[in-house]
Amino acid sequence: MLKVIVPEEKNGLLPIDQLSDISMINQELARTLNDSQGIIAEMCNHLLHAGGKRIRPLLALYSGMIFSEQAKPRLIQAAIAVELVHMASLVHDDVIDESNLRRNRPSVNKLWGNQAAVLGGDYLFAKAFSVLAENHLVRNLNLTVQAIQEMCHGEIIQAEARFNLQQNLDDYYRRIAKKTAVLLQCACKCGAIVAGATEPQIEQIGAYGLNLGFAFQIVDDILDFSGDSTVMGKPKHEDLTQGNLTLPALLLIEHPQFGAWFKELIIHRQFSAEELRQIDKILAETGLIQTSFEIALSYIERAKQILDSFPDTRNRDFLVGMADQLKTRTQ
C-alpha cells in the first residue's frame, strides 16, 4: 500500500491553491501506482516521497483549466500521465549516468540496482500509457509518444556532443528543446486538448510551455555552476565534468580572455576542484552567469507574453506565476 504524500515544507512559498493541487496530484499518483508489487512498489514509494516540484502535471492542469474548469477530473489524469513519463525518464537517466544521488536521496539504481531501475522505469512508462488509454486520451497519447521519442533523441545527441568543442549555441538549444522543453510543451498541449481548446489555442499554450521549458533548462544549467549543492540535492558541475557543455560553458568558450584556457581544460576532460572553483569565479566576474540568466529571463518573458492573449483568470495567473518562479529557482 503506497502512502499519500503531502507537499513538502520547501513548497511553503507557493499559493495555497497550488499547494492543494500538488497534494491532489500526489494522492492521484499514489493511487495510480498502488497496483505495483515487490521492489517496484518500494521504488514507487521512494519516488513519491522524494518530492519533486510537479511542474509538468501543474502545467497540464492549469493549461486545461484556463479553457474549462469543469474538465478538472480528466485533467488530473492527463497531468498524472505526464508526471509518470517524467519520473520514468529520470529513473532511466540515472541508470544511464550511473548517478547515485537524486534530489538529496539515493537514486533508484543505487538502492535497488540497475534491474529494478530499468524495469521500474518501464513500469512507470507503461502506467502513463495505461492512464491515457483508460481515459481515452488518444491524442495526448500520440503527443506523449512523440515527446518520449524527442527526449530519447535529445539524451543521445547530448551524449554524442560530450566534450565536443565544435558545437554552437544552436546545437545547445536544439538539445534542450528535445531533452526538456518538448515535454513541458506536451504537458501544456495535453491539458488544453482535454479541456477542448481550439487548435490555435493548443498551439499557443504549447508555445508557452516550450518557452518555459527553455527557461527551466537554462536555469538548471546555470545552477550547475552557481547553485548550492545542498539546496539542489546533487553535486555541482555534474554537467561540465561529464562533458555536457551547457549555455554558461559555451559562452565561456567564446570569451576573449578565458576561452582558450577553458577549451584546454575541456580537451583534457579533467577538472581539479581548484579549476572548478576558478571557472565559477570567472563565470560570475565576467558576467556570463548574468548573461545566461538574462537569456533565461527572455524566455520567461516570451512565455508570459503568450499568456497575455488569454482571459485574465486565476488559472492564467498560476501559469504566469510558474514562469516567474523560475527567476528565483534555487533547486
Binding site for its own copies (CB under 8 A): 35, 37-40, 88-89, 92, 95-96, 114-116, 118-123, 125-127, 129-130, 132-134, 136, 138, 141-142, 145-146, 148-149, 152-153, 155-157, 159-160
Contacts for 234 with CB less than 8 Å, ≥ 6 apart: 99, 101, 102, 103, 104
Q: How far is the CB of 187 from its own copies (least distance, A)?
A: 16
What b/e sequence results for 256-288 when a residue is b if at least 16 CB atoms lie within 10 Å of its CB, and e otherwise? eebeeebeebbeeeebeeeebebbbebbeebeb
Q: How far is the CB of 248 from its own copies (least distance, A)?
A: 24
Nearer CB in complex with its own copies: 159/231: 159
Q: How far is the CB of 39 from its own copies (least distance, A)?
A: 5
Rounded CA separation 302/284 (Å): 25
The packing angle between helices 108-134 and 38-49, to 10°, is 90
Q: How far is the CB of 330 from its own copies (least distance, A)?
A: 29
Residues in a beta bridge with 105: 102
256 to 201, 259, 260: CA distances (angstroms): 44, 6, 8
What single-letter amino acid sits at 287? G
Nearer CB in complex with its own copies: 127/304: 127
Q: How far is the CB of 197 from its own copies (least distance, A)?
A: 20
Nearer CB in complex with its own copies: 171/280: 171
* Radius of gyration, CA atoms only, the chain: 20
Nearer CB in complex with its own copies: 115/168: 115
Nearer CB in complex with its own copies: 112/299: 112
